[in-house]
Chains A and B, each alone.
Chain A
Amino acid sequence: MSDILIRANNLSVHFPLRGLGFGERPVVRAVEGINIEIEKGSFFGLVGESGSGKTTLGRAMLKAAPITHGEVIYSDGEVQYSLADLQKDELKDYRTRAQLIFQDPYAALSPRMTVRDIIAEPLEVMKLTSSREETDARVREIAALCRLNLEHLRRFPHAFSGGQRQRISIARALVSGPRFIVADESVAALDVSIQADVLNLLNKIQRDSGITFLFISHDLSVIAHTCDFVAVMYLGQIVESAPTRKLFAETSHPYTKALLSAIPSLDPDVRGNAQKLEGEIPSPINPPPGCRFNTRCPHAQERCRSEIPEWRELSAGHHVACHFAEELS
């Protein structure tokens, strides 16, 4: 079991809302009772619709969202942390080991800093280098890895296109030498021709440096092409997870099936045979009882409306939370 880099045990993240002054305060149950394990050196994909809690889960694993229940254990061989009760200096150290790449490369970079300063900032804040020469050397090394040249380092972010900006964000995330990177919708804002380039770069970094990625996306086809392992999220819970190939070959959960069939096919001769999902994702303040997917599931039965489906292993590495997974797969 030593090859698990980060694992969540029964993790919940709740955000209390302002109440009306009487009765119980409403709570947004953004993440509810999640168990996942991310293997060292893997490219782990997390897919789900907006409001499914994927960003919150990613942030909880970076200790950037409050952990309400359960625990997140990080263990890279050198240190082992339980994120729920990190000490101040442990948190500082964890920040060098775990990093985040954001979705919007236009909002994530300060317009008043040169690219060199943007990439150097984590080194300076975390005091990882002792001299300006050392900082510059490290910045140049990382910039080269992300295909940014010396000329680029002197400019400001406005001079760059979306793809180049995203490579700057990636360089900034890499500069502290992290073991774990959460990439939250990192290609969603890019054009397809550029998106492929950034995906290839992330895959190359993972292969060459062994960094573990949690790749969050709403796009199942992007996940399918880049990740080794996929977890599908719906309304704060993981409904199915498996190695990528297995997930696509032996899709078991009706939600995963619906997501797959909703992706518009590139073949003009295959039209309109998608399995349509009715309705919309319910509110996480008041999730449906039983299986959270029962309000939209085409196979829902009485049992689904009352009994919470167990998170169980269908076959090696393939987990699902559905009462009828065997019959449906």
Chain B
Amino acid sequence: MTKPLISVENLTLSFKTDEGLVTAVNNVSFEIAPGEVLGLVGESGSGKSVTAKALMMLNAENSVYSDTSKITLNVDDRDHDVLSLRHPAEQKIVRGGAISMIFQEPMASFAPAITIGEQMVEQLMIHSEMTRTEARDVSVEMLTRVGIPEPAQRFGQYAFEFSGGMRQRAMIAMALSTRPRLLIADEPTTALDVTIQAQVLDLMKDLVEEFHMSILFITHDLGVIAQTADRVAVMYLGNLVETGTVRQVINSPAHPYTRGLLNSLPKLDDLEAPLTPVPGDIPSPLDRPSGCVFHTRCVESGDIAERCRTEIPITTIGADNHRVDCHLASKGKPA
């Protein structure tokens, strides 16, 4: 087995706030292999973005990593301990060097008063030895590659002159121009219309193959995950509750929360199926439930409810590294 490109072990991350220490990510472990697309699914407030930002050390000043947290990036057979990178010069490798990120709202991610081209050239010159002219050529070539018409002219334009879909393409071009090994895509298609989303997803799939990079794909949309990911990790209230291959998680979900998410989704091939919401609301991270974090909304605990309320479930590992944190699974009950 090849070494994972990035491995996250026991990541626990809290924020210092006026109301006290808020745990946003709790004991999360996962790996991404070279060329693999890992989908990270969860509702708002589940800690998906905070987890992703931890990989690039982008979380705010008031974040506190636990001593057990470890993130290892393996590039060119060299291990980098991400959380120990303190100096900005060292951090370059995770900030645009080997890891790039694209965001949900491209309008907010580009500087409004600098041309798209200038922003692309700037980051290329930081991360490589290129001259300005070379950087410009590479940038125009990348704009062409992501399907932006008249790239040489677009290079000199500002973000507001691009439509939503074009801005997201430009963002992808910029993120990929430094040839990162890992692309973090945080809800990259959520703000786009479905027909444009289909175009952007297609483009991303092509680029993964062409550049042989890995993607951490963050979304709340299970349909998008089913179409893009190799493996899926499901997050709830800062905890990873289930990880597995896309077929395992979508076709035979092992955690009651994953099942709940799938049951609440409107499906086009079965219009008669009732929509079953997950009861209640996601609890506040200030008031994390004891035992299993999902027990306040779980409809399946039944006669072991007391155990779910008090005891933290351990991870059960099934075929193909299908991991689930649930007492029902550890009891050996079929999913």
Contacts and interface: CB of A to CB of B under 8 A. Distances in A.
A260 B165 CA distance: 19
A276 B198 contact: yes
A298 interface: no
Contacts of A73: none
Interface string B258-279: 0011111111100100011110
A89 interface: no
B246 A268 contact: yes
B227 A265 contact: yes
Nearest to B232: A268
Contacts of B260: 193
A192 B194 contact: no
A221 B266 contact: yes
A75 interface: no
A82 B250 CA distance: 51
Interface in A156-181: 161-164
Nearest to B272: A225
Interface in B181-235: 193-199, 201-202, 205, 220-224, 226-227
Contacts of A124: none
Contact of B267 (A162, A221, A262): A221
Contacts of A4: none
B163 interface: yes
A192 B261 contact: yes
Contact of B275 (A199, A244, A281): A199
B264 A265 contact: no
B227 A264 contact: yes
Contacts, number: 124
Given A193-B277, A266-B226, A268-B226, A218 B194 contact: yes
A193 B279 CA distance: 8
Given A195-B264, A266-B223, A267-B226, A272 B196 contact: no
A225 B250 contact: no
B163 A280 contact: yes
B226 A220 contact: no
B268 A221 contact: yes
Contacts of B31: none
Given A161-B282, A191-B220, A196-B264, A271 B227 contact: yes
B227 A196 contact: no
Contact of B266 (A161, A225, A259, A267): A225
A262 B195 contact: yes
B281 interface: yes
Nearest to B275: A196
Interface in A187-218: 191-197, 199-200, 218
A297 interface: no
Interface in B235-269: 246-247, 250-251, 260-268
Contacts of A162: 44
What bracket does the count of chain A residues touching chain B fall in?
35 or more
A264 B201 contact: yes
A263 B197 CA distance: 9
B281 A277 contact: no
A272 to B, nearest CB: 7
Given A191-B43, A264-B226, A277-B195, A200 B275 contact: yes
Nearest to A283: B163
Contacts of B197: 262, 264
A49 B266 contact: no
A148 interface: no
Q: Which residue, A258, A261, A266, has most C-beta atoms of chain B within 10 A? A: A266
B277 A196 contact: yes
Contact of B198 (A218, A220, A274): A274
A228 to B, nearest CB: 11
A50 interface: yes
Contact of A268 (B166, B193, B251, B264): B251
Contacts of B267: 221, 225, 266
B236 to A, nearest CB: 10
Contact of A192 (B224, B265, B282): B265
Contact of A193 (B43, B166, B198, B266): B43
A329 B275 CA distance: 30
Contact of B271 (A191, A199, A200, A244): A244
B268 A263 contact: yes
Contacts of B201: 264
A266 B222 contact: yes
Contact of B205 (A192, A268, A272): A272
Contacts of A193: 43, 260-261, 264, 277-278
Contacts of A280: 163, 165-166, 196
Interface centre among B221, B223, B246, B262 (most CB of A within 10 A): B223
Interface string A242-274: 001100100000000011111111111101101
Contacts of A272: 202, 205, 227
A265 B271 contact: no
A130 to B, nearest CB: 37
Given A50-B193, A193-B278, A248 B268 contact: yes
11 contacts: A49-B193, A49-B194, A49-B196, A196-B275, A218-B193, A218-B194, A225-B275, A266-B222, A266-B223, A266-B250, A268-B250
Given A191-B220, A262-B198, 8 more contacts: A192-B264, A224-B266, A259-B195, A263-B268, A264-B201, A266-B262, A272-B205, A277-B198
